[in-house]
Amino acid sequence: MLKTRIIPCLDVKDGRTVKGINFVDLRDAGDPVALAKAYDAQGADELCFLDITASHEGRGTMLDVVRRTAEQCFMPLTVGGGVRSAADLVQLLRSGADKVAINSAAVANPAVITECAAKGGSQAVVVAIDARKSGDTWEIFTHGGRQPTGIDAVEFAAEAERRGAGEILLTSMDKDGTKSGYDIPLLKAITETVSIPVVASGGAGSAQDLAPAVLEGGANAVLAASIFHFGEVTLAEARQALADAGAPVRPFET
């Protein structure tokens, strides 16, 4: 049986993690490679790096972070942030990423999804959707959630699938940062529309918040940042809470 993936997400700027990180026994808490190794040892099912670097130099540093992580962590690695073209995708895959998340560029020009899938294969293409409730539907926002687009999130998810995306990374802008649980109605709307895997993101505040995303929302994976970084929830606790609720998880002995 396929298991629910638990995916810690690290925001990286100019080669350093930027959201608060509070790992016990970690000498340099800002080094994304050291953090990746710590999550690897705890049995994370996959890692996600979100590159929020603005500068050109920072991009090169990010590629180096991906390379060094891939040398030491033998697990799936998704990298997103600032991916604009198939050339960006190829560069990240060559550095050691397994999947590349495309956000603003895919919304601005969906043909980018087609190009990336043709170049790297569908399994390497994740379309990241940031959505906010707008009346009875959900609207896509880009540029880190600042820019409304007028595009319907459910319709766009279906288009992303048609164009060859292998996975949707779905972030609720309403829930992000609230620690009040994932946006179940949004998840349901998307997972009932597409047949590709969907990763739930935004809102996890406790280990108990994870299972509803899977069991009610239909997500294949749960992504979270701060609950893991601050040590509020360990990966073992996350696995246990999912298993207790009836969502299958991978057995992992630390």
Min dist. Cβ of residue 99 to other proteins (A): 8
Nearer to other proteins, 30 or 76 (CB): 76
Handedness of CA 98, 67, 227, 26 (dihedral sign): positive
Minimum CB–partner distance for residue 134 and other proteins (Å): 27
Closer of 47 and 173 to other proteins (Cβ): 47
**Residues forming the site for other proteins (CB under 8 A):** 1-5, 40, 43, 45-46, 70-71, 74-76, 93-94, 96, 98, 120-124, 166-167, 195-198, 220-221, 250-251, 253
Separation of CA 50 from chain center: 8
Residue in this structure with the two tokens 């940042």, named with its chain if needed: 225
Give CA–CA dist 95/170, Å, rounded.
Answer: 25
CA angle (66 as vertex; 62, 69 as ends), nearest 5: 135
Annotated active-site residue 28? The verdict is no
**Taking the CB of residue 54, how many other CB atoms lie within 10 A of it?**
11
- φ, ψ of residue 54 to 5 degrees: the values are -95, -30
| Shortest Å distance, C-beta 250 to other proteins | 5
Cα–Cα dist 40/17, whole Å: 16
CB of 63 within 8 A of CB of 88?
Answer: no
Give the residue with the Cβ less far from other proteins, 139 or 167.
167
What is the C-alpha separation between 86 and 88, in angstroms, rounded?
A: 5
Exactly one of 11, 98, 183, 209 is catalytic; which is it?
Answer: 11
- In the bound state with other proteins, the residue whose beta carbon lies nearer, of 11 and 45, is 45
Query: CB-wise, 143 or 250, nearer to other proteins?
Result: 250
> Does the active-site annotation cover 98?
no
| Nearest approach, Cβ of residue 185 and other proteins (Å) | 18
Return d(Cα 139, Cα 64) in angstroms, integer.
35
**CB of 152 vs other proteins, minimal distance in Å:** 21
CA distances to 15, 23, 51, 95, 194 from 38, in Å: 17, 9, 19, 20, 34
> Residue 136 or residue 253: which is nearer to other proteins going by CB?
253
Catalytic residue among 45, 88, 98, 130: 130
Rounded to the nearest 5 degrees, what angle is found at the Cα of 75, between the Cα atoms of 73 and 81?
90
Give me 105's structure tokens.
């560029």
Give catalytic residues, as residue numbers. 11, 130
